Structure 1
């Protein structure tokens, strides 16, 4: 009884640990926006090149998703803990070394290494939640994902102060040192004792609606078994058996274009309109407050079935599209702050719901089987390609026009496209599975 009670409380420590880890990831990425103009000036590069270099950080963090998901599962219950700690150290060292960059290529190479480190962190942090929260995943995911918003609120203004005091190179070192908090967070993510020597799987071939467990020791026996185990845990079959999963990977790719572009260029967009640096950096904090509400607030809506996951996704991204399309019309700081808040709200909620959709697609018994860690990994993998497009695309728009208006209009158009795709797919699925599908959606 005491052990069960102790673990019941410890699971909230795990939620806090993921909160910190994601705070460092998103906060660091958002801080690149504060550093953007210094990168462009000191490294003698265009906005498109620096946008691409900084986007690589998020891209690589996403692209490593499938492998990280597999390694997390193959290492057993402590796999996530180990990878988060190692990833935190790798990211910290790489970010510190960016202070030595003399060209944008040096910067890009080091941000790739930092991205690998944070890639190990981002996907692996989902596993402990799955272990502790089998019936309240939406709530735990929303609260812990809100850490990304907290990072947005805290780190960009700190980075601006560090730049004023120590130059952008000194600020880069401090960002790297701060990333070591991720390693401490990983140490706190101890698995529940009930998962000792177990392997976490989601329903297989529709056998039941509960989590299934398998011994993982067989993966560490003969080397010849490793290849087959890798294939199994990558859940490649999910692409053949679940057509919806394939479609949503493309939708998530599109959403990552905006995720990357807005995070990187919110602050430079304000600076290009002659907003003072400290006020421009504060826009990131305002967006972070909205982001916090969006990430934390979606869980109850999903867990209590107030919205379906895909319909909530539609609402979120439609609002984001409107916000981005109105951005070029913003003439005052108050208007920019208003738009930053709602962009942060929807970007944050959109990411949390993305993870929720990936989880549900993986555990769906209608179309086949799939490991949730592999599904989350694949989702981040495809989002990585979107992130790779977002930075250079918005940066190139500035190089061509001297303004970020075109880039924000493009992101708004992308949001409208993915909103329409998701809405059509959702209505089609509802109508196919229920005679009263449309009425169900509108309830």
Structure 2
């Protein structure tokens, strides 16, 4: 029975639903922060700028060092190609729709939660809802094994030898860093420095460089441009998400209508992501061209406001 006639497991569609939920709660929760800002500034007796910096630091630190963030949210954006190599564009569109739907509906729910439980209770409830992302993280445990069941090459198959070399390096480091406490005196050299300590320092340096592998910037300088582009895009995108509702209220719009602006923005976001995803799949557009076009169109939209 060849791969073409083999039925596709339903697990990957369940994973797709989970990835949709991850985006829904991630961006939807961030968008809902705009509902809290006015009450938080009054309750904490501080300025809107300080609250905005606190939210930005919380989200930024979570992206860089967050244990749950790194194991659930970032893999949810990168693992689509492993589970849907045959319908990558459509699957990516569905995953990205989660953030748009969350942006559209979760602020409405948050507004009702604030009215019922205050902003502190609403944040606790949103935290409990976000905890459901752990189930999605468990589903994504073995994408390589999933694709082997389908009889398809894994996306990282070309790096298998690199992984073996890395494991060999780690084993060598572990061997070098093993210190016999009974023979410390024998390891002392003429300068009075322990050779074992030097080995530990070298091994620690090697492990640090393996974890924070900055060689990618030297081997692929274009990656620096990608990082800078993503950084500037995130500044404008997340700033718009967090401060849309407070900015509308500052301009005299009632809180109920200000929350509806978030719903309208989410609906427009859904239309844009659906259009781009299906057009890319139908017209076989190059990702680089599509990305540049979307960035130019987005910049024009912000400049025209």
What TM bracket, shorter-length normalisation?
A: 0.7 to 0.9
The residue that corresponds to 1:58 in the other structure is 59
Distance 1:215 1:249, change over 3 A: closer
The counterpart of 2:167, out of the listed 184, 195, 219, is: 219
- The alpha carbon displacement at 1:119 in A equals 4.0
The residue that corresponds to 1:124 in the other structure is 75
The residue that corresponds to 1:29 in the other structure is 30
The residue that corresponds to 2:91 in the other structure is 140
The counterpart of 1:162, out of the listed 113, 120, 130, is: 113
Distance 1:212 1:297, change over 3 A: farther
Q: Deviations over 1:103-155 (max 9, x none)?
A: xxxxxxxxxxxx55334322122454232223433332221121111111121
1:255 pairs with 2:239? no
- Where do 5+ consecutive residues of structure 2 fail to align? 175-202
Q: How does 1:69-218 map to 2 (within 5 A)?
A: 116-192=67-143, 193-194=145-146, 202=156, 211-214=158-161
Q: Deviations over 1:217-276 (max 9, x none)?
A: 763963726975774576533212223222121111111110121011111111112222
Q: What is the TM-score of this pair, normalised by structure 2? A: 0.75
- The alpha carbon displacement at 1:163 in A equals 0.9
The counterpart of 2:266, out of the listed 285, 288, 307, is: 288
Q: Deviations over 1:19-76 (max 9, x none)?
A: 1011111111111111111111111111111111111232123323xxxxxxxxxxxx
Q: How does 1:374-393 map to 2 (within 5 A)?
A: none
The counterpart of 2:277, out of the listed 299, 303, 313, is: 299
Partner SS, residue 134 of structure 1: coil
**8 A Cα contact 1:200 1:214, kept in partner:** no
- The alpha carbon displacement at 1:201 in A equals 6.1
**Cα distance in structure 2, aligned partners of 1:143 and 1:134:** 14
Q: Deviations over 1:137-181 (max 9, x none)?
A: 333222112111111112111001111111111111111111122
Distance 1:12 1:195, change over 3 A: closer
- Where do 5+ consecutive residues of structure 1 fail to align? 65-114, 203-209, 328-443
Q: Deviations over 1:308-340 (max 9, x none)?
A: 32332233233323332333xxxxxxxxxxxxx
Number of equivalenced pairs: 268
Partner SS, residue 213 of structure 1: helix
**Cα distance in structure 1, aligned partners of 2:279 and 2:214:** 31
**8 A Cα contact 1:144 1:296, kept in partner:** no
**Cα distance in structure 2, aligned partners of 1:303 and 1:234:** 35
Distance 1:42 1:11, change over 3 A: same
The residue that corresponds to 1:43 in the other structure is 44
Q: What is the TM-score of this pair, normalised by structure 1? A: 0.53
**8 A Cα contact 2:92 2:277, kept in partner:** yes
**Cα distance in structure 2, aligned partners of 1:39 and 1:188:** 36
**Cα distance in structure 2, aligned partners of 1:231 and 1:16:** 36
Partner SS, residue 296 of structure 2: helix
Quick check: which has more Rg, 1 or 2? 2
Distance 1:28 1:119, change over 3 A: farther
Distance 1:12 1:28, change over 3 A: same
Q: How does 1:370-409 map to 2 (within 5 A)?
A: none
**Cα distance in structure 1, aligned partners of 2:172 and 2:76:** 28
Distance 1:5 1:288, change over 3 A: farther
Distance 1:261 1:301, change over 3 A: same
State the Cα RMSD in Å: 3.2
Distance 1:229 1:128, change over 3 A: farther
**8 A Cα contact 1:14 1:128, kept in partner:** no
